Amino acid sequence: MVATGICRTDDHVLKGALKGIDFPVILGHEGAGIIESVGEGVTGLKPGDKVIPLCIPQCGKCSSCLNPNTNCCLKTHLSESQNVMPDKTSRFLCKGKAAYHFLWTSTFSEYTVVPVDAVAKIDDRVPMDKACLFGCGFPTGYGAVVNTAKVEPGSTCAVFGLGGIGLSAVIGCKSAGAAIIIAVDINSAKFDIAKVFGATECINPLDYSKPIQEVITEMTNGGVHYSFECIGNTDTMKAALECCHMGYGTSVIIGEAPSAAQISFDPILLFTGRTWKGSIFGGWKSKESVPRLVDEFMANKFNLDGLVSHTLPFDQINEGFELLRSGNSIRTILMF
Ligand code: CND
Ligand code: ZN
Ligand code: ZN
């Protein structure tokens, strides 16, 4: 590994919010590295290639991979454990004891081992401290807008949560030509950077006495065309649905709720024509799409500078997590 970002999902696992993860585990799923060696029978990759490990693999063979409308490969942790390699063994030892893999990526390690379906070769010229963003944050937020919601020019959007994922959704809304982009966060310190990426209004739910979905519905004469939940909180998932316009509004869940969470909501919201969707890794079929996105980045289609707030040496990983928890960072990139 050369560089890795810290995503809130890694923190959810540390807090025990996601079930089905075995400990001790090597976390990290937003990395960029260089191939050191390849296993027997591996084609298309060689030592020296720059690569991105893929937390959503693309096996190319399962029913989802063969379906053009989803990227939810059946090899993901949602249907099979990615705590061990496909042969059900771990490649990590810590003081003689096996440690588990995470999402088949485990980027918080100087060396990692990944299945061939979970790694993409990228352009040699790309700077690795930016390339790692293509392992999760940027494709996840941007893709939810352009692939899952398919935001149209002139539309009205609301983005809930302005971390690495939410700001990438703002970038997506702007590039899709949205006319109004409302950025929502309880931490107003995120607003300046949201404006740089294209937010036209920034609102803090703590500044209002009524629910934020009512504020947005009033601001937009009946609701937005598209909303995106980039927090992982069931209350804001409901608020994001409720601020969509009757008849044609679409809300996309990107944030990851704790494993045991349930939502109850008024079915009239869907009965009256709103659409509720979810998006994992931005809907991208990972192995084929990540190299293309990196090429577009190299052709200056996106400026991701503001997504990286801090760069630290890897041994300051705990400081990186503290920056995330205190709301003082967007993405912290750890360099090996
Ligand atoms: P990060 O913690 O950086 O950002 C979340 C933002 O939400 C912060 O700016 C908070 O201040 C803000 N926030 C918190 N509570 C509220 C609230 N009640 N109202 C408004 N704003 C609030 O997180 P991140 O951007 O790294 O990740 C966001 C979510 O996306 C998180 O749940 C993560 O687990 C999930 C995710 C999903 C996927 C996917 O494929 N769908 C991939 N990786 C991460
Ligand atoms: Zn992530
Ligand atoms: Zn598959």
Q: What is the pLDDT of residues 267-281, one digit of tens each?
A: 999 999 999 999 999
pLDDT in the model for residue 81: 82
| pLDDT over 90 percentage in the chain | 94
pLDDT in the model for residue 247: 98
pLDDT single digits (tens) 152-203: 999 999 999 999 999 999 999 999 999 999 999 999 999 999 999 999 999 9
pLDDT single digits (tens) 189-246: 999 999 999 999 999 999 999 999 999 999 999 999 999 999 999 999 999 999 999 9
Best mutation site among 103, 190, 231 for ligand 1 pocket (most ligand atoms within 8 Å of CB): 231
8 CA → ligand 1 middle, Å: 6
253 SS3 class: strand
Pairwise CA distance, residues 334 & 336, whole Å:
7
If you take atom 37 of ligand 1, which residue's CA is the nearest one? 255
pLDDT in the model for residue 266: 96
CATH class as words, domain 141-279: alpha beta
Pick the residue with more confidence: 244 or 77?
Answer: 244
Ligand 1 within 6 A of CB of 233:
yes
The DSSP-derived string for 61-85 is: SSHHHHSTT----TTSTTTS--SS-
Best mutation site among 4, 7, 11, 70 for ligand 1 pocket (most ligand atoms within 8 Å of CB): 7
Ligand 1 within 6 A of CB of 320:
no
Q: What is the DSSP letter of 245?
A: P
User: ipTM of this predicted complex?
Assistant: 0.99
Ligand 1 within 6 A of CB of 29:
no
Domain boundaries, the chain: 3-135+304-335, 141-279
State mean pLDDT over 58-66: 97
> Residues 6 or more apart from 33 whose CB is under 8 A from it?
1, 2, 50, 51, 52, 53, 107, 112, 128
Instruction: Mark residue 103 as left, alpha or beta (left: phi above 0; alpha: psi -120 to 50; beta: remaining).
Output: left
Alpha-carbon distance values, 225 to 274, 284, 330 (Å): 9, 22, 26
Ligand 1 within 6 A of CB of 258:
no
Give the bridge partners for 119, in sequence order. Answer: 53
CATH class as words, domain 3-135+304-335: alpha beta
Structure tokens at 149: 């919601």
Contact (CB, 8 A) for 142 and 282: yes
pLDDT in the model for residue 79: 80
Residue in 96, 247, 252 with CA at minimum distance from that of residue 176: 252
